[in-house]
C-alpha cells in the first residue's frame, strides 16, 4: 500500500494544519509553510517506519481537538497544539520531526537559507585551514602527563 | 561436519579485524564469523538528499531504532544511557566519530594513583608498539606534541580548524585552558588507497568518500589477502565446550538461517562490551552453568559507558555546521584527578563543530528554543549554522551493579536471548558531569554563545561498551588474564572493550585495537604452549 494511503483524509487534513502551525509560510523569508502541497506530499511519501507513531500522534491530536483541527478558532487551536506537544510523548515528537525533516530539505527552503541543493557527496565542502598560531599559548604553557608508577 | 579451523574469531569490527590481521602471518587457518555483511558506500547517507533524515531511521546509531536484520535488540530501558553500535564488517568503526585519543599512562594505574577501582595488569608502555602499528594501519591525522596527551606520531596532518576551531581555540586561550587538534582517523591526505577527506560532514554514519577509517577498508582487505576467511551474515549463538572445559567451536546461524557447527582449536571473541558477555552467558552449559568463562561471576558486570555531558550554544559567527567532520579539537584540561573538584578521576573534552539544518531544527524544537509559528523562521536563521558544542567524556568507574545480563523475554531474529542493561550513573560520575557542564558553560559564554542547552547525559551516547569481561591476574577478580586468555577456558580469548579494567576519559577504539594487537602478539609468542 502506498504510504500516502496510510493516513485517513481526516488525518491528512490535521497533519497539514498542524504542520502550518509549526512552520507557517513567510513572505519576509520567501518560503512556503510546511503545509505546502509539495512538502506535504514528501511527508506522505516518505513516512515509512514513522507511520505508526505519526498515526498515533494524529489520533492523539484528534482526541484533543474533538473536531478537525482547522475548524477550531485560533485560540482553541493554539491551546490544542500546546497540549499536543506537551502530552504527546514520542509520537508527537516523531510527527514534529517528520514535518521538520521534510521542510528543511525542500529546495525553496534550502535556497532561502543559502544552502546548496545537493547531497554532501561527491562534491563535499571546503574548509579554511584556520590560524594555527592560536596554539602558541598552549605550547607556551606546556604542562606534562601525570606520572604512572 | 565442517573441518575445524585453527582460530575462529567472532566479530569483524574494530578488534576482530585487528586480531585477524595480526594472526594472519602465522598462516594458520583463521576464520571470522560476522553477523553483518559488507557495506556499500554508494548507499551511505551522504550520497542522498535525504542524508539527515536517515539518521532517524535506517541509519540511527541505535540498533533498536535501526532494526536492520543484522542488528540484535538490546533492552536498555533500565539505563539512562542507551547502547549504540553497528553490526557489519567493520562493526562500529563504520559508524563512529573517528575521534582517536589513547588511554593515558595514568589510566592503567587508577588504584595506585587514586585508590579507586583496580590497576590494569598491563601498562601503557607495553601497548605503545601496538598503538603505533594500529595508527599506521587505521591511518591517523593529527598534530604531534600535545603536552597533555601521550605522544603520538600521526602520519597525516590535522584537520583544518575551519570556522568553528578558531572560535573554540580563542575561548580556551582566554580561559587559559588546554586544547589541541584531535588525533582522528580521518585521512587528511590520500593514504594507503584511501581518498582524502572532502568534508562531507555527515561522516559519523559512515563515510562515502572512504576518508574515515573503518576496518572494512583498512584491516580487512589486508587480512583477507593474507589468507583469513571472513564469513558474513553468520550469527553465533553459543560457544561449545568439551569434557575438559576447552572450547570446541561455535554454533551459529548462517545467511539462510540454517544452524551450523564450526569446530575450532582456538576461539577469539570480539563482540564488544555488550555482545561478548551476552555470548558468554548464552554459552552456559552443565559444566559452566553461570555462563562460559564466568567462574569469577564477573561476566557482564562492571559495565562502563562513559557518561557524556554535553553543552552547546550558538554564536553570532558562522560555524562549520555540517560542512566538516564533527570533531576536530580536544582538551585534557580536566583529565587528571584534582580532589578539590569534589570527585576522583576526570574527563576529556571533545568539541563539536556544528550540525546540519534538519538536525538543528529537530534538536532545537525539542529543547524549546525553536518556536512554532511566525517567529520560527527568524529564530531558525539565528541558530542554524551557528552551533558549537562541548562534550565531556566522563570516566566511568567499574561498579558491579552496572551490568549486562540476558533478557528473560527479548530475543533477536534468530531466537537468541538478547542483552539486558542495568546501569545507573554513579555519584562520582554525577559530580564530574556537573563540573564538566559548568566548565563547558564557561567555554561557551567566553566564546559568546547564547541559547545554551545541555544533554545530561547524551541519552543515545552509549558508544563505549567497556569492562564486562575484564582482564587481571586474579581469576576471582577478572575474566581473562593479562594477555586476554580466559582464566577458565584455556583456548578462549577476548580482545574487545570488555577486557578494560577502567575506562579512562577518552574514546576507546584506539586502545581497544592496540589491546587486540597486543593479545595477538602474545598468542604468537606463545604458540607452542598457548594452552598451558
Please check whether residue A137 is in contact with residue B173, taking contact to mean a CB–CB distance below 8 angstroms. yes
pLDDT at B498 over 60: yes
**Residue A143: per-residue pLDDT:** 81
Q: Mean of the pLDDT values across residues A119-137?
A: 96
Q: Which three cell numbers stand for residue B204?
A: 559519523
- Judge: B147–A139 Cβ closer than 8 Å, yes or no: yes
Please report the beta strands in B378-512, taking only residues with DSSP state E, as ranges in sequence order.
Answer: 387-394, 403-411, 417-422, 450-455, 492-494
**Residue A29: per-residue pLDDT:** 97
Contacts of B344 in chain A (CB under 8 A): none
Nearest to A146 among B50, B104, B160 (CB): B104
- Summarised one tens digit per residue, pLDDT across range B136-192 is 999 999 999 999 999 999 999 999 999 999 999 999 999 999 999 999 999 999 999
Residues 67-126 of B with CB under 8 A from A: 67, 104-106, 108-109, 112-113, 123-124
**Residue A6: per-residue pLDDT:** 87
pLDDT at A4 over 60: no
Distance from CA of B508 to the nearest CA of A (A): 18
Q: Mean of the pLDDT values across residues A20-46?
A: 98
Residue A79 lies in a domain: yes
Domain count, chain A: 1
Residue A60 lies in a domain: yes
Distance from CA of A49 to the nearest CA of B (A): 7
Sorting pLDDT into bands at 50, 70 and 90, what band is A144? confident
Sorting pLDDT into bands at 50, 70 and 90, what band is A2? very low
- Judge: A125–B323 Cβ closer than 8 Å, yes or no: yes
- Domains delineated in chain B: 5-156+183-304+399-423+464-529 (3.50.50.60)
Nearest to A130 among B160, B366, B376 (CB): B160
Residue A99 lies in a domain: yes
pLDDT at B77 over 50: yes
In which domain, by residue range, is A98 found?
3-118
pLDDT at A136 over 90: yes
| CA dist., res. B406 & res. B390, Å (int) | 35
Q: Mean of the pLDDT values across residues B367-392?
A: 98
Distance from CA of B11 to the nearest CA of A (A): 28
**Residue B327: per-residue pLDDT:** 87
Sorting pLDDT into bands at 50, 70 and 90, what band is A147? confident
Q: Mean of the pLDDT values across residues B267-276?
A: 98
Which range among A144-148, B90-94, B379-383, B435-439 shows the weakest confidence by mean pLDDT?
Answer: A144-148
Q: Is B438 exposed, middle or buried (0-12, 13-18, 19+ CB in 10 A)?
A: exposed
Q: Mean of the pLDDT values across residues A63-87?
A: 97
Distance from CA of B274 to the nearest CA of A (A): 26
Please check whether residue B281 is in contact with residue B288, taking contact to mean a CB–CB distance below 8 angstroms. no
| CA dist., res. B367 & res. B340, Å (int) | 33
- Summarised one tens digit per residue, pLDDT across range B104-128 is 999 999 999 999 999 999 999 999 9
**Residue A149: per-residue pLDDT:** 81
- Summarised one tens digit per residue, pLDDT across range B20-33 is 999 999 999 999 99
Nearest to A49 among B50, B57, B376 (CB): B57
pLDDT at A3 over 80: no
Q: Mean of the pLDDT values across residues B51-67?
A: 95
Sorting pLDDT into bands at 50, 70 and 90, what band is B202? confident
Q: Mean of the pLDDT values across residues B395-420?
A: 98
Sorting pLDDT into bands at 50, 70 and 90, what band is A30? very high
pLDDT at B15 over 70: yes
Answering whether pTM is above 0.95, one says yes
Angle between helix axes A89-103 and B357-367 (nearest 10 degrees) is 150
Q: What share of chain B in percent tops pLDDT 90?
A: 99
Q: Report the 3 state secondary structure along chain A.
A: CCHHHHCCHHHHHHHHHHHHHHCCCECCCCECCCCCHHHHHHHHHCCHHHHHHHHHHHHHHHHHHCCCHHHCCHHHHHHHHHHHHHHCHHHHHHHHHHHHHHHCCCHHHHHHCCCCCCCCCCCCCCCCCCCHHHHHHHHHHCCCCCCCC
Nearest to A127 among B150, B323, B373 (CB): B323
Residue A149 lies in a domain: no
Sorting pLDDT into bands at 50, 70 and 90, what band is B312? very high
Q: Mean of the pLDDT values across residues B324-342?
A: 96
Phi, psi of B394, rounded to the nearest 5 degrees: -85, 135
Residue A36 lies in a domain: yes
Residue A80 lies in a domain: yes
CB contact, 8 Å: B144 with chain A? no
CB contact, 8 Å: B382 with chain A? no
**Residue A148: per-residue pLDDT:** 84
Q: Mean of the pLDDT values across residues A1-5?
A: 50
Residue A127 lies in a domain: no
DSSP character string of B6-30: EEEEE--SHHHHHHHHHHGGGT--E
CB contact, 8 Å: B198 with chain A? yes
| CA dist., res. B245 & res. B283, Å (int) | 12
pLDDT at B393 over 60: yes
Strand, helix or coil at B515?
A: helix
Nearest to A134 among B113, B169, B320 (CB): B169
**Average pLDDT value for chain B:** 97
**Residue B378: per-residue pLDDT:** 98
| CA dist., res. A61 & res. B506, Å (int) | 44
**Residue A1: per-residue pLDDT:** 41
Q: Mean of the pLDDT values across residues B480-503?
A: 98
Residue A89 lies in a domain: yes
| CA dist., res. B362 & res. B359, Å (int) | 5
Residue in A with minimal Cα distance to B144? A139
**Residue A5: per-residue pLDDT:** 63
Please check whether residue B134 is in contact with residue B509, taking contact to mean a CB–CB distance below 8 angstroms. no
Q: In terms of Cα–Cα distance, which of B214, B217, B202 is closest to B94? A: B214
Amino acid at each position: 500500500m502506498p504510504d500516502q494511503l496510510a493516513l485517513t483524509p481526516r488525518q491528512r487534513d490535521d497533519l497539514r494544519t498542524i504542520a502550518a502551525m509549526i512552520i507557517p509560510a513567510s513572505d519576509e523569508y520567501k518560503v512556503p509553510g510546511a503545509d505546502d502541497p509539495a512538502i506535504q506530499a514528501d511527508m506522505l511519501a516518505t513516512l515509512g517506519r514513522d507511520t505508526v507513531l505519526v498515526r498515533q500522534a494524529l489520533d492523539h491530536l484528534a482526541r484533543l481537538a474533538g473536531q478537525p483541527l482547522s475548524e477550531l478558532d485560533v485560540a482553541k487551536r493554539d491551546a490544542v497544539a500546546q497540549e499536543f506537544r506537551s502530552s504527546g510523548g514520542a509520537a508527537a515528537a516523531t510527527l514534529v520531526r517528520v514535518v521538520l525533516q521534510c521542510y528543511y530539505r525542500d529546495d525553496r527552503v534550502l535556497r532561502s537559507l543559502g544552502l546548496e541543493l545537493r547531497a554532501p557527496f561527491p562534491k563535499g565542502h571546503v574548509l579554511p585551514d584556520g590560524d594555527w598560531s592560536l596554539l602558541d599559548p598552549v605550547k607556551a604553557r606546556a604542562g606534562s602527563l601525570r606520572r604512572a608508577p | 561436519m565442517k573441518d575445524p579451523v585453527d582460530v575462529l574469531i567472532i566479530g569483524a569490527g574494530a578488534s576482530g579485524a585487528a586480531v585477524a590481521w595480526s594472526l594472519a602471518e602465522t598462516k594458520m587457518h583463521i576464520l571470522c564469523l560476522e553477523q553483518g555483511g559488507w557495506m556499500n558506500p554508494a548507499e551511505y547517507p551522504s550520497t542522498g538528499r535525504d542524508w539527515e533524515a536517515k539518521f532517524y531511521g535506517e541509519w540511527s546509531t541505535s540498533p533498536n531504532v535501526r532494526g536492520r536484520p543484522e542488528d540484535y535488540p538490546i533492552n536498555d530501558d533500565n539505563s539512562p544511557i542507551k547502547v549504540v553500535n553497528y553490526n557489519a564488517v567493520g562493526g562500529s568503526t563504520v559508524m563512529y566519530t573517528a575521534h582517536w585519543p589513547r588511554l593515558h599512562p595514568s589510566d592503567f594505574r587508577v588504584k595506585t594513583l587514586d585508590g579507586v577501582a583496580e590497576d590494569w595488569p598491563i601498562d601503557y608502555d607495553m601497548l605503545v608498539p601496538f598503538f603505533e602499528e594500529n595508527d599506521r594501519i587505521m591511518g591517523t591525522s593529527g598534530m604531534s606534541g600535545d603536552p597533555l596527551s601521550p605522544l603520538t606520531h600521526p602520519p597525516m596532518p590535522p584537520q583544518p580548524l575551519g570556522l568553528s576551531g578558531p572560535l573554540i581555540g580563542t575561548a580556551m586561550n582566554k580561559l587559559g585552558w588546554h586544547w589541541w587538534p584531535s588525533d582522528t582517523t580521518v585521512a587528511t591526505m590520500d593514504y594507503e588507497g584511501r581518498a582524502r577527506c572532502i568534508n562531507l560532514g555527515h561522516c559519523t554514519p559512515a563515510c562515502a568518500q572512504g576518508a574515515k577509517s573503518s576496518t572494512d577498508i583498512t584491516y580487512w582487505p589486508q587480512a583477507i589477502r593474507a589468507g583469513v576467511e571472513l564469513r558474513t551474515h553468520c550469527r553465533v549463538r553459543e560457544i561449545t565446550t568439551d569434557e575438559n572445559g576447552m572450547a570446541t567451536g561455535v554454533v551459529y546461524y548462517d545467511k539462510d538461517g540454517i544452524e551450523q557447527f564450526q569446530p575450532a582449536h582456538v576461539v577469539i571473541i570480539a563482540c564488544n562490551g555488550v555482545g561478548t558477555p551476552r555470548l558468554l552467558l548464552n554459552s552456559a552449559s552443565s559444566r559452566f552453568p553461570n555462563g562460559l568463562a564466568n567462574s569469577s561471576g564477573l561476566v557482564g558486570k562492571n559495565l562502563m559507558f562513559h557518561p557524556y555531558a554535553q553543552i552547546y550554544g550558538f554564536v553570532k559567527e558562522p560555524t562549520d555546521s555540517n560542512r566538516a567532520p564533527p570533531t576536530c579539537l580536544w582538551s585534557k584540561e580536566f583529565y587528571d584527578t584534582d580532589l578539590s573538584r569534589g570527585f576522583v578521576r576526570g574527563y576529556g573534552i571533545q568539541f563539536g563543530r556544528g550540525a546540519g539544518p534538519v538536525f538543528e531544527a529537530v534538536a532545537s524544537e525539542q529543547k524549546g528554543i525553536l518556536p512554532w509559528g511566525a517567529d520560527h523562521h527568524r529564530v531558525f536563521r539565528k541558530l542554524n549554522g551557528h552551533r558549537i558544542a562541548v562534550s565531556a567524556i566522563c570516566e566511568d568507574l567499574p561498579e558491579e551493579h552496572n551490568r549486562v545480563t540476558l533478557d528473560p523475554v527479548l530475543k533477536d531474529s534468530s531466537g537468541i536471548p538478547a542483552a539486558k542493561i542495568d546501569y545507573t550513573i554513579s555519584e562520582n560520575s554525577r559530580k564530574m558531569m556537573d563540573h564538566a557542564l559548568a566548565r563547558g558553560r564557561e567555554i561557551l559564554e567566553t566564546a559568546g554563545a547564547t541559547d545554551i542547552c545541555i544533554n545530561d547525559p547524551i541519552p543515545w551516547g552509549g558508544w563505549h561498551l567497556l569492562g564486562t569481561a575484564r582482564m587481571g591476574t586474579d581469576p576471582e577478580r577478572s575474566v581473562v588474564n593479562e594477555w586476554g586468555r580466559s582464566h577458565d577456558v584455556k583456548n578462549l580469548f577476548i580482545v574487545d572493550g570488555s577486557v578494560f579494567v577502567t575506562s579512562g576519559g577518552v574514546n576507546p577504539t584506539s586502545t581497544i585495537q592496540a589491546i587486540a594487537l597486543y593479545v595477538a602478539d602474545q598468542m604468537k609468542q606463545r604458540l607452542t604452549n598457548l594452552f598451558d
